[in-house]
């Protein structure tokens, strides 16, 4: 059974810092990995999706990397802003017939201090 | 406008009540999902409707019953719920295509409280 772990559970940084969020998964047979953002009382917003054949994806100040063989992904946020404060969730899609079924980590709660 | 709309946003019900959660997607997707988000637990996939096929998590109790009348609408019927069922219920949709993965789009959820 796939398990996804996110470290740290919470992170507080001053505005302007670069930061890295970590995600690890136990079964490397994945179809893709996605990073989501969740604001309080809201649903999830998809940030980046990395196919299993890719190494990284970039969108603006966000860069996500994937090392499938070691079961790890990182989300790099450059020049953090207070508006980046949210919970960041990592999710993996299994290989094969269940490729659309996501397994989530518990998330990292990020606070960016002005 | 998220493209995925859930109603109601908040629901308080007793254990003997029957209620339904509604989800509607305006994105033309062909797959819809129900997730449960409890405090301090990862999001848990409950049900998937994809290309008229239903896939469910075998650990979901029978007091939760999904219905998908068409590709744009998804319901979750609730009856005789327990206090531990209090959670945020999220609906999502995506476009399933052979050979490529598409991101799931989420609604803002229904916050359910069982008295």
**Cross-strand pairs, A112:** A13
Q: A51 in contact with B at a CB cutoff of 8 Å?
A: yes
* Sheet architecture: strand order including A72-77: A4-7, A19-25, A72-77, A62-67, A56-59
* pLDDT value of position B20: 96
Q: How far apart are CA A80 and CA A61, in angstroms?
A: 8
The per-residue pLDDT for range A12-31, each reduced to its tens digit, is 999 999 999 999 999 998 98
Nearest to A4 among B42, B44, B55 (CB): B42
Q: How far apart are CA B32 and CA A77, in angstroms?
A: 30
B38: nearest CA partner in chain A: A106
B19 with B78: CB under 8 angstroms?
yes
Q: DSSP readout, A33-94?
A: EEEEEE-TTS-EEEEEEEETT-SEEEETTEEEEEETTTTEEEEEE-S--GGG-EEEEEEEEE
Mean pLDDT, to the nearest integer, of A70-77? 97
Judged by CB atoms closer than 8 Å, whether chains meet at A98 and B55 is answered as yes
Mean pLDDT of chain B: 89
- The burial of A25, by beta-carbon neighbours within 10 Å (0-12 exposed, 13-18 middle, 19 or more buried), is given as buried
Taking CB atoms and an 8 Å cutoff, what residues of chain B touch A32? 101
Judged by CB atoms closer than 8 Å, whether chains meet at A44 and B40 is answered as no
Judged by CB atoms closer than 8 Å, whether chains meet at A102 and B45 is answered as yes
Band of residue A96 on the pLDDT scale cut at 50, 70, 90: low
Q: A86 in contact with B at a CB cutoff of 8 Å?
A: no
B37: nearest CA partner in chain A: A106
- Within 10 angstroms of residue A85's Cβ, the number of other Cβ atoms is 18
A10 with A60: CB under 8 angstroms?
no
The per-residue pLDDT for range B37-87, each reduced to its tens digit, is 998 889 999 998 887 677 777 789 999 999 999 989 999 999 999 999 999
Q: How far apart are CA A6 and CA A104, in angstroms?
A: 9
In our burial notation (b when 16+ CB lie closer than 10 A, e otherwise), range B6-17 reads beeeebebeeee
Given a cut of 80, whether residue A76 has pLDDT beyond it is: yes
Residues 6+ apart with CB under 8 A from A72: A22, A23, A24, A25, A66
**C-alpha closest to that of B32 among B99, B98, B89, B83:** B89
Taking CB atoms and an 8 Å cutoff, what residues of chain A touch B107? 43
């Amino acid at each position: 059974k796939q398990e996804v772990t996110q470290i740290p559970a919470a992170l507080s940084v001053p505005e302007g810092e670069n930061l890295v969020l970590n995600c690890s998964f136990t079964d490397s047979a994945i179809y893709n990995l996605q990073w989501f953002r969740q604001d309080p009382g809201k649903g999830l917003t998809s940030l980046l999706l990395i196919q299993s054949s890719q190494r990284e994806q970039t969108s603006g100040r966000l860069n996500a990397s994937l090392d499938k063989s070691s079961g790890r992904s990182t989300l790099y946020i450059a020049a953090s802003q207070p508006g980046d404060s949210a919970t960041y969730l990592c999710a993996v899609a299994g290989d094969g017939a269940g490729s659309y079924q996501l397994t989530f980590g518990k998330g990292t709660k990020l606070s960016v201090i002005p | 406008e998220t493209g995925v709309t859930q109603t109601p946003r908040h629901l308080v019900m007793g254990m003997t009540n029957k209620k339904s959660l509604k989800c509607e997607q305006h994105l033309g997707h062909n797959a819809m999902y129900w997730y449960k988000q409890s405090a301090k637990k990862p999001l848990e996939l409950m049900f998937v409707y994809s290309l008229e096929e239903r896939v469910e998590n075998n650990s979901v109790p029978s007091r939760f019953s999904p219905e998908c009348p068409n590709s744009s609408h998804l319901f979750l019927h609730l009856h005789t719920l327990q206090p531990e069922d209090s959670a945020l219920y999220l609906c999502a949709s995506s476009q399933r295509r052979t050979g490529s993965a598409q991101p799931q789009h989420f609604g803002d959820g229904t916050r359910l409280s069982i008295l």
